[in-house]
Amino acid sequence: MATAESAAYDELLDLFVEPTVARRILAFHPSATMQVRIETLLAKQRDQTLTAEERAELDEFERIEHFVRLVKARVHHKLGGLPVGSS
């Protein structure tokens, strides 16, 4: 049985499945600048030199990545497994 929270989350995810945005979502990747920042934070995490502010920033990146993965999976499923870049 789905909880109210998961049902609300499912409804929100379904908003991103609209055909007009689906392919853009599937093709989305972090910018080069964002990727460099994430890699820097991950290196500092490995070295155990993250500040509390950096830890919070990395946690936020992880939450966003999780959400984007869920959205991409939902879009991919709704499009019937259509590969990224297909017309």
For 56-73, write each residue's pLDDT tens digit.
999 999 999 998 898 888
Cα–Cα separations (whole angstroms), residue 74 to 7, 16, 59, 71 = 14, 8, 23, 5
Mean pLDDT over the full length of the chain: 84
Short-list 63, 59, 72, 75, CA closest to 29 = 72
Q: Read off the pLDDT of each residue in 5-19 and give the average, rounded to a whole number.
A: 76
Greater model confidence, 64 or 16: 64
Q: What confidence category does residue 2 fall into, taking pLDDT thresholds of 50, 70 and 90? A: low
All structural domains of the chain with their residue ranges: 22-78
40-56 core/surface letters (b: 16 or more CB in 10 A; e: else): ebeeeeeeeebeeeeee
CB–CB of 76/27 below 8 Å? no
Query: At residue 30, does pLDDT exceed 50?
Result: yes
Which pLDDT score is estimated for 59? 97
